[in-house]
Every structure is written in structure tokens, then in C-alpha cells.
Amino acid sequence: MIHQLAVVHPEARIGNNVEIGPFAVVARDVEIGDGTVIMNNATILDGARIGRNCRVFPGAVISGIPQDLKFKGEETLAIVGDNTTLRECVTVNRGTASKGKTVIGSNCLIMAYSHVAHDCVIGNYVIISNATQVAGEVIIDDLAVIGGGTLIHQFSHIGPHVMIQGGSKINKDIPPFVKAARDPIAYTGINIVGLRRRNFSPEDINAIQEIYRYLYLSQLNVSDAIERIEAEIPQSEVRDQILDFARASKRGILRGYEWC
């Protein structure tokens, strides 16, 4: 299953039923799981750990050294989970001493010409659309969808079930379950279509809507809004997930559209 024109280091750890196309390059310190397809002209460098049944398209470069001047050649990893697709010319840099690894979860789709920088953590079932640029140490939680051409500032955190408009510039944390759009980027409602598709109950959807009314439509600052939410909205998993995210945000959560 390895084409005679591929260059595969003899010490690379290759699983069963792996396909490696012509002119692909696989370095020594690489692991590739069963059933994965590495297409022609893809480059898999030291530190790559690719799961089962992945597809790496032509021109992709996985585990290149970080574009970070603090990187001193330390041994780090770029980890890709099972069933993930990396389309044409995607680049995924490995980690630095900061976290030691860059992680892309399982069942993700990273579309053509996108970049995932050092020490990022991308969750499961994430879609990153064409030409999106993800800077270092960004966190993107499960089931987020990032529109094409988005620029994500380093250290940003994007919550689960979020939908980001294409062409956005993200420099604040994006809390769970919302849609974010406009320029500058702002809250534009909850991701109600995505939540229904993922079988959120009507009660949870109503609670999410009410929480974001406090955060974005009440004219309260974030701290005061959190106090009101805790006092007036019954405890639930979705309520606590939103409040924990807002409290933990170091960059601050994105603003509401009425202030943009």
C-alpha cells in the first residue's frame, strides 16, 4: 500500500492497511494508524501522530516546526485523532515547550489552505473551513464550525457548538452555543439550528437564549449579568457551561452586536 515513489523512513511506525501515495514523505518519528490514507505530495514530519482512518490530501504538511521564535528545537508532537480529514495544503505545526503538543481531535474536517499553529487544541467534530488561520495556543471546543477565511488571534478560546461567519477576525473568546459574525465580530444570536440538529431539548435551548439575553441584551456588564443569571435561571448543565466559560475567559468574551 506504499507507493514505490513515496519516501518513508524505515523506522516510521505505519499501521495496517495504510496507503501512502507517490512523492509523499514520512519522517522517522511518525506514527500512522490503521486505514489512514496519505495522498501524493503530502509531508509527514517528526512528531506526527496520526490516528486511524484519516485522510491527508496532497500538499498537506503535518508536524512542521513551530513558527515561534521561542522554539529551541525541543521534541514535541502534532497529534491528529481518528477519522479526521486534512485537505489540500493544510499545515499543522507541532507544539513548543509551552504545552508540548498540538492536538486535533477525531472526526474533524480541516479544509484546504488552513493553518493550525503550535500548541493549539482542536476538539472533536470540528469543521475549519478553507483558508482559516489559527494562531498559537488557540482552543476550539467540540462541534464548533469556523467559516472560511477566518483569522483567530493567539490564546483565543472558541466554545462548543459555535458557528463563526466566514471572514471573521477573532480576538475575543467566543462562548458556547452562539453565532458570531459582523466586523468587528459580535454576538448575533444562538446557534439554534445546530443545537436542534444535535438534539438539545427545547428546555435547554430556551435556557441558553435566556442566559444570552442577560449577557448581551440587558446592558449589564458581564459580572453583574452572571450574578443575575445565577439568581434567576435554574441550575443546569448548559447554564453552568456558559457561566464557567465566561468566568474563565482571560481575553474577555466577545461583545454584543448592539455595541458594535
- Convert 76-88 into a string of H (helix), E (strand) and C (coil): CEEEECCCCEECC
| 115 catalytically annotated | no
How far is 63 from 28, CA to CA, in rounded Å?
12
| 118 catalytically annotated | yes
Catalytic entry in 115, 118, 157, 161: 118
Q: How many residues in the chain?
A: 260
Residue 258 DSSP one-character state: G
Catalytic entry in 119, 123, 141, 194: 119
User: What's the sign of the alpha-carbon dihedral 242, 83, 128, 201?
Assistant: negative
Catalytic entry in 33, 35, 136, 159: 136
| 194 catalytically annotated | no
How far is 242 from 137, CA to CA, in rounded Å?
21
202-217 vs 237-248: helix crossing angle, rounded to 10: 30
**Catalytic sites, residue numbers:** 118-119, 136
